Amino acid sequence: MKKSDFDLFVIGGGSGGVRAARMAAQRGARVALAEVADLGGTCVNVGCIPKKLYSYAAHYGEGFAESAGFGWEIKPPVFNWNRLKANRAREIGRLNGVYQQLLEGAGVTLLRGWARVTGAHGVRVDDQDFSAEHILVATGGTPFVPDVPGREHVVTSDQMFDLEPFPSRLVVVGGGYIACEAASIFNGLGAEVTLVQRGARLLNGFDDDISTFVASEMGKAGVDVRLNAGVANIAARRSKTSPLLVTLSGGAQIKADAVLYATGRKPNTQGFGLEEAGVKLDERGMVVVDKDFRSSVRSIHALGDVSTHKALTPVALAEGMVLVDRLFGPAKGKRERQMDYDFIPTAVFTHPNVGTVGFTEAQARERFGKVTIYRSEFRALRHTLSDSTERTLMKLIVDDATDRVVGLHMVGDEAGEIVQGFAVALKAGATKATFDATIGIHPTAAEEFVTMREPSRD
What distance in Å separates the CA atoms of residue 97 and residue 418, rounded to the nearest whole number?
31
Strand partners, 413: none
Residue 37: strand, helix, or coil: coil
442 catalytic residue (yes or no): yes
Contacts of 59 (CB under 8 A, 6+ apart): 188, 351
Pairing relation of β-strands 122-125 and 371-378?
A: unpaired
Residue 158: C-alpha distances to residues 48, 84, 174, 260, 351 (Å): 12, 16, 15, 10, 21
Rounded (to 5) percent helix, strand, coil in the chain: 35, 25, 40
Q: Can you spell out the DSSP letters for 282-344?
A: -TTSPBP--TT-B-SSTTEEE-GGGBSS---HHHHHHHHHHHHHHHH-PPTT-PPP----TT-
12 phi-psi bin (left φ>0, alpha ψ -120 to 50, beta other): left
> What does the buried/exposed string (b/e) look like for 413-438 if buried means 16 or more CB atoms within 10 Å of the residue's CB?
bbbbebbeebbebbeeebebeebeee
What distance in Å separates the CA atoms of residue 139 and residue 127, rounded to the nearest whole number?
19
Q: Can you spell out the DSSP letters for 146-160?
A: ---TTGGG-B-TTTG
Residue 259: strand, helix, or coil: strand
CA 129 to chain centre: 35
Q: Can you spell out the DSSP letters for 195-206?
A: EE-SSSSSSTTS
Residue 325: C-alpha distances to residues 6, 121, 261, 332 (Å): 17, 20, 39, 11
CB atoms near residue 313 (< 10 Å): 20
User: What's the one-letter identity of residue 78?
Assistant: V
State the sign of the Cα–Cα–Cα–Cα dihedral 261, 267, 272, 277.
negative
Catalytic (active-site) positions: 442
